[in-house]
Amino acid sequence: MTEEKLKVLFLCTGNSARSIMAEALLQKMGQNQFEAYSAGSIPKGYVNPFAIEVLKANNFNTDMFRSKSWDEFEGGDAPKLDFVFTVCDNAANELCPIWAGHPISAHWGIEDPDNPKLSDDEQRTLFQSTYRQLEHRIKIFTDLSFNNLDSSSLQKELDDIGKIKLD
């Protein structure tokens, strides 16, 4: 594609858990090749404490993560995106803005781990599972040979990644 870093936006409705964890993982796992962002259609305005806990337990500095609107990625000042991935079903079904750069998009839906009806321990387990699922998918994504894939093959690979489930 290009010698500069590929820009990837992860979307979720609230931008407080899944998309934040995906942003963190790609920043770490693809640091030489990718620039990661996250946003939400209706951002909660805070990062879920369980997401912060899981990231810290996996040696992430969480100071820079914040819940933000996808509006920050529209307009002339927005980064030219190469990829946009939705990680929740709600965001996948929403009418998204027109992104600068006409990025390739795919849906990587993962069940929402934020369930206040569950105990803290049960939520921690769900957040850890979500983290592992995202980590697995992002590892596959970062291992793709982008220069050897035409656009339809790349789209198929990205769609297939979104179907991968860990046991």
List, by residue number, the catalytic residues: 12, 88, 96
160 in Cβ contact with 141 (< 8 Å)? no
How many CB atoms are located within 10 Å of the residue 102 CB?
Answer: 11
Sign of the Cα pseudo-torsion (7, 105, 20, 91, in order): positive
Buried/exposed 124-159: b ≥16 CB within 10 Å, e otherwise: bebbbebbebbbebbeebbeeeeeeeeeeebeebbe
